[in-house]
Amino acid sequence: MFQIHALSPEPYKDFFSLSAAELKHRNIVKTVVEEEHSYPCRVSLADATIGETVILINYSHLAEASPYNASHAIFVRENASQATPDANCIPQMITNRLISVRAFDAEHLMLTADVVEGCDLKKMICDMLTNSTVQYLHLHYARPGCFAAKVTRV
């Protein structure tokens, strides 16, 4: 069994009230969604809809001490509530995209990685988690390379 984890909205809430100059100083972009399925929110684990406000902000998805330490841009919807998907369930925002799956051990070293269509992701997650050395997985949107979500065993 596995669990997909959404990000907490707390670190992002205050950014929506900042001025354009304050956002620019922090390397954050605020925009209004004009196209469906183009702004996947890492808090709600759902695509933002046309007319919604989102921020594009850098997120350290692997902040632990590791040669794989990494960060990348993510979208967060204004007033997003943290998603809590059921165990073994993959949000549509993820299944609709090509996904890069990266498996890490307890030392945060990558053990294996692969790319899969989101509709076939469940099998790959289950297969990778059969390796007892794997502690967690990171899902990334394969084309832009952005972090999508963390996966753990339950």
- Domain extents in the chain: 2-153
> Coil, helix or strand for 58?
strand
Is residue 81 within 8 A of residue 7, CB to CB? The reply is: no
Q: H or E stretch including 94?
A: helix 92-95
pTM: 0.95
Task: Tell me the pLDDT of the chain averaged across its residues.
Answer: 98
Q: β-pairing, 147-153 with 136-141?
A: antiparallel
Q: Give the number of residues written for the chain.
A: 154
Q: 71-123, pLDDT tens digit by residue?
A: 999 999 999 999 999 999 999 999 999 999 999 999 999 999 999 999 999 99
